[in-house]
Amino acid sequence: MTLERERARLVTDLVAAGSLGDDWRAAFEQVPRHEFIPGTVWQVSEAAGGRLLPLRRDTDPDTWSKLAYRNEPVHTQVDDGNPPVEGGWEVTSSTSAPSVVATMLHALDAEPGMRVLEIGAGTGWNAALLAWKVGAENVTTVEIDAQLVIQARGSLAAAGLGKVTVVTGDGTLGYPDAAPYDRVIATVGIREVPYAWVAQTAPGGRLVAPLYNSYHQPGLLTLAANGDGTASGRLSWPLSFMGTRAARVPRVAPASIVGEPAVTGETDLHPRLWGSGRDAAMAIGQRLGDGVRLQWQKGTAPGQGTVWLFDPASRSWASVEAGEEPPRTGCGRAARDGCSTRWPTPTGGGARPANRRSPTGRSQSDRMASGSRCRTDRIRTCSSSPGRCGLGVVSCRTCRSRSAAARRAPPAVPGA
């Protein structure tokens, strides 16, 4: 296996999948990804309790090389560069999956000679692709981590792209010294678009950034600068990015928070509807506010497992176990084969979370771990006899009263 052959294979695969078009194909062919990946990367180890263990190029070059040209993200830094000896826990920098990079660059629609601002230099590979397209002297990239800046500068210089401007700083402030920019692209997730990015985009320019929240990743935001201090656009492809360091919600080890549940119950609302159904999950996540983290724990069979909801600050939690396929169009069809379709409701514990508003106007403290405050009256069940079923509804008998703040109308969705 040669790295050149692997790079060619990756490009061919991306083109065949429709992820990479003619506009960026030459850049992907000419800019080697492996030259921007550090010698030590990190992989999740289930044997180590989900910790991130190092994979070193000098001790396992074959595996390292395969990672470099897989269509997957590569974790290049954990715990802000200071992992404990037993292994890292939080991914704090990575190089994105090539298909994601290609999708975002296509949305950016950059042309030779355009001035581009990138937020989040990371390894420098994305900046290198931009430099190949528009010219190295036209690319400015901002990175908050000084160590990553050193690495990105070195990699860019080694690739002959030393004219790229790499700045250490808070990317949410942009970089006014080189403004205005024809294009602005963020490779870090944002909850709201910093106005500095809009202000530093030239009239008619374009801004591309992934929206972020810890519950569910809403997708890629593409905005056009209107020339009057505003920008407008649309939300498209679902993408997953880590958030800015200021907005980071820590990864949670369930065992560190979870205790005995206050109450358990059952519901016919399958977690796919609110956990992985994009439209609903996006709306929920954007309105929850910062702090609630959704995590999926795989079960023993495909599609089965546990959905966890955590508020690390208050150590509040809820969980839903998914063990079977839900009825597709109500109980009638499911009952045709004879079944019992019951989904455990969220079971909760821990401290009462801070008061945050939900889409229904209920505070997070009323909604989070609802199984600990509400009792399921009835559930939809399918009897063991085909053709017979009871169509019940899920309802809460009593809930704690909401605060006045929680009863106010929910805020507008940021970025919508």
- DSSP assignment of 292-329, as one string? -EEEEEE-SSTT-EEEEEEETTTTEEEEEEE-SPPPSS
Domain membership flag for residue 244: no
Which residue range(s) make up the domain with 163? 3-235
**Percent of the chain residues topping a pLDDT of 70:** 76
Domain membership flag for residue 245: no
pLDDT at residue 325, rounded to an integer: 55
Cα separation, 104 vs 413, in Å, equals: 23
pLDDT at residue 141, rounded to an integer: 98
Give me 387's structure tokens.
């053709």
- Return the beta strands (E) in 74-225 as ranges: 74-78, 91-95, 116-119, 139-143, 165-168, 181-186, 201-211, 219-225
Interhelix angle for 98-108 vs 22-30, to 10°? 130
Question: Is 96 one of the annotated active-site residues of the chain?
Answer: yes
Domain end point (choices 208, 235, 262): 235
Position 380 pLDDT exceeds 50: no
CA angle 403, 404, 405 (to 5 degrees): 90
Q: Rounded mean pLDDT of 257-265?
A: 79
Say yes or no: 12 and 73 in one domain: yes
Say yes or no: 382 and 302 in one domain: yes
Tell me the per-residue pLDDT of 394-404, one tens digit each, with 9 for 90 and over.
222 222 222 22
- Unique residue bearing structure tokens 């889409």: 359
Where is pLDDT greater, at 226 or 347? 226
Q: What is the CA radius of gyration of the chain?
A: 24
Cα separation, 118 vs 124, in Å, equals: 10
Position 86 pLDDT exceeds 70: yes
Position 296 pLDDT exceeds 90: no
What's the CATH code of the domain at 105?
3.40.50.150
Number of residues in the chain: 416
pLDDT at residue 332, rounded to an integer: 26
pLDDT at residue 324, rounded to an integer: 60
Band of pLDDT at residue 294, cut at 50, 70 and 90: confident
Where is pLDDT greater, at 416 or 284? 284
pLDDT at residue 205, rounded to an integer: 98
Count Cβ atoms within 10 A of the Cβ of residue 259 and give its class: 0-12 exposed, 13-18 middle, 19 or more buried: exposed
End-to-end CA distance of the chain: 46
Give me 194's structure tokens.
């910093």
**Percent of the chain residues topping a pLDDT of 90:** 49
Cα-based torsion angle of the residue sequence 284, 289, 292, 295 in order, rounded to the nearest 10 degrees: 50
Where is pLDDT greater, at 291 or 33? 33
Q: Rounded mean pLDDT of 206-219?
A: 87
pLDDT at residue 340, rounded to an integer: 32
Look up residue 66 and give its DSSP letter.
H
Band of pLDDT at residue 374, cut at 50, 70 and 90: very low
Cα separation, 107 vs 274, in Å, equals: 28
Say yes or no: 43 and 114 in one domain: yes
Domain end point (choices 190, 207, 235): 235
Q: Rounded mean pLDDT of 173-186?
A: 97
pLDDT at residue 355, rounded to an integer: 34
The runs of H, that is alpha helices, within 41-141 are 61-68, 98-108, 125-134
Position 76 pLDDT exceeds 50: yes
Where is pLDDT greater, at 64 or 218? 64
pLDDT at residue 28, rounded to an integer: 97
Domain membership flag for residue 242: no
The single-letter code of the amino acid at 260 is E
Position 336 pLDDT exceeds 70: no
Catalytic one of 96, 99, 316, 365:
96
pLDDT at residue 222, rounded to an integer: 96
Distances in Å between the alpha carbon of 24 and those of 107, 114, 196, 210, 225? 11, 15, 28, 20, 23
Where is pLDDT greater, at 118 or 347? 118
* Cβ(348)–Cβ(317) below 8 Å: yes
Say yes or no: 271 and 147 in one domain: no
Question: Model pTM?
Answer: 0.73
pLDDT at residue 47, rounded to an integer: 87
Number of domains present in the structure of the chain = 2
Cα separation, 37 vs 154, in Å, equals: 12
Say yes or no: 219 and 96 in one domain: yes
Domain end point (choices 180, 206, 235): 235
- Burial string for 314-347 (b: 16+ CB within 10 Å, else e) reads bbbbbbbbbeeebbeeebeebbeeebebbbbbbb
Band of pLDDT at residue 360, cut at 50, 70 and 90: very low
Give me 49's structure tokens.
């309790």
Position 348 pLDDT exceeds 90: no
Cα separation, 45 vs 58, in Å, equals: 20
Q: Rounded mean pLDDT of 224-237?
A: 92
Where is pLDDT greater, at 102 or 247? 102
Say yes or no: 74 and 12 in one domain: yes
Say yes or no: 224 and 350 in one domain: no
Q: Rounded mean pLDDT of 266-280?
A: 74
* Cβ(41)–Cβ(52) below 8 Å: no
